[in-house]
Amino acid sequence: MARRADDTIPDDEALFRGLRPEWVDEVGEILLEAVDYKGTSVNRAAHSSRASVLSSRYTRVAEITQSEFPPPTELNGVTWEFIAVDAPLDVTEQFAANDAHAEIRFHRPSDESREATWPKSSAARDELRAALAARLRLLS
């Protein structure tokens, strides 16, 4: 059984994202494909190391803290921000247990829920994805 999720993640805690090679261009820029608009999986530094996100599929590592998230952005009359939500995983058919798991999600500040939500427009989703990808730091 996974640990109980924390209500908040400290703003200065590193969040590690495993990257597929094709998500990084030839000059080391992280592409928007590294950001999943339904919730970008990361591992918290408080419960893991950056090496924990490496695998045969994910051979590079990026890092970000909440204090480095892009500022709130208005798209099509709706304000969007990024939030980090602690989401430890139990073992399932699809996933191994991961106490360090968290998600970076798009969020409307007007929503009380911290559930994943996203713009209906694919262009707006891609703009948010690109904004977050630009803030990720490539570590390896």
Q: What is the pLDDT of residues 107-120, one digit of tens each?
A: 998 888 888 788 88
Handedness of CA 32, 124, 43, 56 (dihedral sign): negative
State the residue range of the domain holding 69. Answer: 15-138
Residue 6 in any domain: the answer is no
Q: Which of 1, 6, 104 is nearest to 46 (CA)?
A: 6
* Residue indicated by tokens 């820029």: 29
Residue 83 in any domain: the answer is yes
Residue 56 in any domain: the answer is yes
Residue 109 in any domain: the answer is yes
Q: pTM to 2 decimals?
A: 0.91
Kindly report the backbone phi and psi dihedral angles of residue 83, in degrees, each rounded to the nearest multiple of 5, phi listed first. -130, 150
- DSSP-derived secondary structure letter, 27: T
For residue range 31-78, list pLDDT tens digits in order: 999 999 989 999 999 999 999 999 999 999 999 999 999 999 999 999
DSSP string, 39-90: -EEEEETTT--GGGG--SS--EEEEE-GGGSPPPEEETTEEEEEEEEE--B-
Q: Count structural domains, the chain.
A: 1
